[in-house]
Every structure is written in structure tokens, then in C-alpha cells.
Structure 1
């Protein structure tokens, strides 16, 4: 699974990255997680508001921070 956390470094973006890493570890998912901070790279996903989460090329979250349980459900 390829997971990208899109965000320029704001507190919500950092929180989404941490929650994503925790959820992947808890669920035992084999995933490559990268943090994308470059605004031009973020815009390629048609994301205007961060944080955003991209899983296998599909944008699942934009502009909001989901609960930990909701995030685990999305990833499983």
C-alpha cells in the first residue's frame, strides 16, 4: 500500500501523519508512508486544503482530520 500524507507542516498535518503511522502499525499493514510538503506536489492531487491523505493514488481525506477509528476503518 502506498500512502501519502499531504501537508505543508501545520499541526493538523503532523497529527495526520502520526495517526496514519500508528494506524498502519496497529493494523499490521505493509505500507510505504511518505510526507509530501511541497505545495506544487500537493496541488497535483487537486487538494486545495490540507491535511490530505492519498492511498494508492486515491485522495481519501482533504481538509480535515479524521478520528483515529475512522482512519483505521479507511485503511483496512
Structure 2
């Protein structure tokens, strides 16, 4: 099963990215373990300096923006 991590401290944009991730997973019809990473020390371990960010299976795919549902679907399917 794929692991999808939303990296962000809980700001409005981070919450929006989490909502978009949930919608993208449902739209793509895939199974994934979605995790919200809010601890700044854990976020830094990913090398992320700008949130929100999205990691798939531990690899950062999107940084510093609220990706659209369609953008996230493409990332999840690649």
C-alpha cells in the first residue's frame, strides 16, 4: 500500500492540501495510508523548507503549494 504524507504545521494551506489529497485518492480509486506530518523536526528531515508539501512513499513530490486534485492524481499514478 502506498504511503502519502502531507507535510505542514497545520496552516490553512496545509489543511487544504490534505483535503485535496483525500479527494485525489478517492478519485483515482487507489488505496493509500495518508499521514499528516505536523512536527517541524520531522518535516525538516524530508529536506522541506516550505510548506505545505506532499511526499509519496517517503519521496517529496510537491513543495510550497496547494496542488490541485488533478495534479495530485497525476503524482499518485506516476
TM-score normalised by the chain length of structure 2: 0.92
Aligned to 1:27: 28
Shift of the alpha carbon at 1:58?
0.6
Runs of 4+ in 1 over 6 A off after TM superposition: none
Structure 2: unaligned runs, 5 residues or longer: none
* Residue 20 of structure 1, CA deviation: 0.2
TM superposition shift of 1:70: 1.3
The number of residue pairs the alignment matches comes to 76
Structure 1 segments unaligned to the other structure (5+ residues):
none
Deviation at 1:11, TM superposition (A): 0.7
**How do residues 58-69 of structure 1 correspond to structure 2 at under 5 angstroms?**
58-69=59-70
Q: Shift in Å at residue 49 of structure 1? A: 0.6
The yes-or-no answer on 1:6 pairing with 2:7 is: yes
CA distance in 2, matches of 1:39, 1:8: 7
Aligned to 1:40: 41
What's the TM-score, normalizing by structure 1? 0.95
